[in-house]
Structure 1
Amino acid sequence: MESSTHVLERPPEGAAADWTISQNWAAYTADEHALWDRLFARQTAQLPGRASEAFLRGIDMLRLSKPGIPDFEELSEHLMAATGWRVVAVPGLVPDDVFFDHLANRRFVAGNFIRRPDQLDYIQEPDVFHDVFGHVPMLADPDFADYMEAYGRGGQRALQLGALKRLARLYWYTVEFGLVEEKGALRIYGSGIVSSHGESRFALDDPSPNRIRFDLRRVMRTEYRIDDYQQNYFVIPSFEELRRITVENDFAPIYAELDALPDIAIADILPADDVITRGTQDYARRRDGHQA
């Protein structure tokens, strides 16, 4: 029976000590390449006017429109020329310390498997489409590339300080589900949004979620859920500012400060929040079986 998970406890046979494996690009079937093309065409058709300029530039710069699942070696050549990053294949989700070490050394880990056709709209674990289409275009942006390297170094320190929960929330609300303000309009850049057919519309158009201007401490206190559309989106002013916040701040005293404060429940609005959209939360109530 085919395994239903790519979450592993140890590197599988044949993997390197850092969990990397060969992408084995030649082993992809014609159907798998066709599925990538189908996902790519569907997403790129709706992203102009929705995705950030940096994300759209990244798709062009890295030549992701070439048919079929990208070859990581070829992709890394283009990415190295742009920002010094490369893409390495892994068999599934890797341990936190391994993940942070790769980021700190400008290596982005990507699953080498692709979802099944019946998982077109949702897959619980990140596959090659989520990882490459969703994440890699932003790594061609110099500011975001620096942010991700700094995040990797910060992750190594957070593990030592017992503060991983705080830093994980920063990743969730920026790298995975972040919005950015560009030319007076909101745009998506988080990989979980840009790689999702439904959420790429929900995040900008639906009245349900809160959209709040980014504040580092606020984000690090805010809980999130992993199994559906988000109830909060945090909006950064620019990728340059996101890089500056991460590179110039010593997070250790921030962690200590936040340890004395309660977590913020999903969807709560605080008096100090700079709210762009106060959401109705109707979608979440319907999902959870409550009357709107």
Structure 2
Amino acid sequence: MQPRNTTKDLRADLARMTAPDPANTLVSQSKTLRAAWADLMRGFRQHELWLQLGWQDIKQRYRRSVLGPLWITIATGVMALALGLLYSVLFKIPVAEFLPHVTVGLVIWGFISGCIKEGANIFIDNEGLIKQLPSALSVHVYRLVWRQTLFLAHNLVIWVILILVFPRNLGWNLALAIPAMALLIINGVWVTMFFGIVATRYRDVAPLLEALVQLLFYVTPIVWMTSTLHDQGGEIANRARLAELNPLYHYMEVIRAPLIGASLPAYHWWVVIGCTIGGLFLALMAMRQWRFRVSYWV
């Protein structure tokens, strides 16, 4: 049996997957919100392409590695254990309560920060594919979000271990984690698309986002709890309410609360849904205005 020419086969697959759809040619070339939405839909229909490319990214990154992506899981687990044990002593919170809070927060944060920081360079890093393949611009966005979703799935292994070590009565509320994850992934799409376009046009945006993500890590309740500040009362409790002005706090809560068996007020869902709709509209506006210019900017 002759060995497969993988490079030739991959190119043939890419050509087949990215073949233009004549029915959408006119609408995709217009400068309207409908055309921007059509790009998102066309890219989603090319799922064979971005699924394959995303999986190839992971295999390439961990080539010749024994554990592969599990290295990310190990690193996240070690960090969660160290921060959980340290801050549980500083804040005088039981480890069984605080460690799951920190762990799930770090897992979710890995996805959010990955979409923001890597999303800023998504089109720059894929310059060759953008110029050579007639695929939808959103294909590269789905590729990154798919890769980050795989990392998120790997890191959830840590949560499973914690639930076994510190048993909790999760109940039916655990099912709420599914729509919460879906909302998180949808937000990953618009965040990657918006910052990808803006950072491609203005190259100073990427390092700025690096610093901003670092700042957001400290002001988002990941290694601290809002309940700890509220318990102190007085002026500190009033300042703790400022955390609710941070949208990432609500994203954390809608996923973390079902996974650790905590109560979840309904207003968190409304904030996340509102931010999702607003973010999608913002990304569509950016696509409508600038998506044709991305190939010239990279």
TM-score (norm: length of structure 2): 0.30
More strand as a share of residues: 1
* Structure of higher RCO (CA pairs closer than 8 Å, 6+ residues apart): 2
More helix as a share of residues: 2
TM-score (norm: length of structure 1): 0.31
